[in-house]
Structure 1
Amino acid sequence: MKSSVKNNGDKSGKTSSDRFAIYAAVVVLVFFGIVTYFIYQSRMPGKNDAELSYVELKQTIVNDQGMVARLAVTVQVNNGDEGWLSDNEEQLNAQFKKELTSIDLSSLRTKEGFVELQDELKRRFNLVFKTDKIQAVMVTEILLQDQR
C-alpha cells in the first residue's frame, strides 16, 4: 500500500510541474507575439514618418525636332495639403504638359539639366497655382530617344 500512495503522490507532483511548463510556454509565446506585433507596427509600409503626400502625374511624351522624351513626375506636398493636391491634380497634369513644351530636351542628358528641370517645375507650379504647397517635383520616369 505504501508504494501505491507514493505513486499517487508522484503523479500529482508531475501533473503540477507539467501544468507549470505549459503555463510558462503560453506566457513566453504571448510575450513574443506582443513583441512581434509592436515591431511590425513600427515598420509598417503605410506609416509616413516624413509626413509627406505624393501624386504621380500622367506620363507625357514630347517630340522636339526629332528628340522624343517620355517623362513622368511625382509632386510632393506636406500631409496637410493632400486635399489641395488631389483637387488640383488635373490642372497639374495640364500644366506639366505645357511646361514640357518649353524645355530643351537635350539638357536632360546631364545631371545638372535633370536637377534644373525638377527645380524649375517646382518653381513654375508654385507660381502658376499661387501657392507654396509644392515641396518638390521628382522625375520618376524618363526615356530620351534621338530620332534624327
Structure 2
Amino acid sequence: MKPEQKATKKDLSKAGSDRFAMYAAVVVLLFFCAVAFFIYVGRNAKNDANISYLELKKSYVNDQGLVGRLMVSIQVNQGDESWLDDNKAILNEQFQKELTVIDLETLRTKEGILELQDELRRKFNQVLKTDKIEAVMVTEVLLQDQRIE
C-alpha cells in the first residue's frame, strides 16, 4: 500500500464517523421534536367539561382590624369566554364592592365561604343582568386578626 492510499482510508473513516455524528444528531432532534409535539397536543386537549374560568384580582379588606385577602374564580360555560373577558372590569369592580359589606368573621367557617360564593354568583348575575355565571369559587382566603385587645 502506498502512503497516499493510507491517508485516503483515514479520511474516509473520519468522514464516515462525521456522518454518523450528524445522523445521530438528526435522530435525537427529531425525537425531541416529537416529544414536544405530544406534550403540546396533550396540554391543549379539548375541555371535556365545557367550562371556562376567570380569576379576579386578589383583593384585600380591613374590617376593624381583621384583615382579609380573598381571591375568587368565576365559572362560565365554554363559549361565554369572550363575554367573560368583556365584563372582567365590571366583575372586578363589583367584587371590590361586595367585599366592603361582608363580615369577615363568617369566612372562618365552610358554611360562610359557601354562602359568600352563592351571594357573589347571585350578585354578579344580577348586576350584569344575565345567568351566564354558573359558579363563583373562593380560591384563596387569608384572614389575619390585627386587633389589639
Give the TM-score normalised by the residue count of structure 2.
0.70
Computing the radius of gyration from Cα coordinates, the structure with the larger value is 1
Partner residue in 2 for 1:145: 144
SS of residue matched to 1:62: strand
Partner residue in 2 for 1:46: 44
Stretch deviating more after TM superposition (45-54 or 95-104): 45-54
Partner residue in 2 for 1:130: 129
Counting aligned pairs with the same residue, the percent is: 65
Give the TM-score normalised by the residue count of structure 1.
0.70
Write out aligned runs for 1:81-120 (5 A): 81-120=80-119
- The number of residues matched between the two structures is 110
- The amino acid that maps onto 1:144 is L
Partner residue in 2 for 1:77: 76
**2-side partners of 1:57 and 1:106: how far apart?**
22
- Please report the RMSD computed on the Cα atoms of aligned residues, expressed in angstroms: 1.7
SS of residue matched to 2:79: helix
- The amino acid that maps onto 1:113 is G
- The amino acid that maps onto 1:93 is N
Offset, 1:99: 0.4
Partner residue in 2 for 1:66: 65
Moved over 2 A (4+): 43-47
- The amino acid that maps onto 2:113 is F
**1-side partners of 2:99 and 2:44: how far apart?**
32
Stretches of structure 1 lacking an aligned partner (at least 5 in a row): 1-36
Offset, 1:46: 3.2
**2-side partners of 1:60 and 1:141: how far apart?**
10
**2-side partners of 1:46 and 1:97: how far apart?**
33
TM-superposition CA deviations, 1:67-88 (whole Å, max 9, x none): 1000010001001111100000
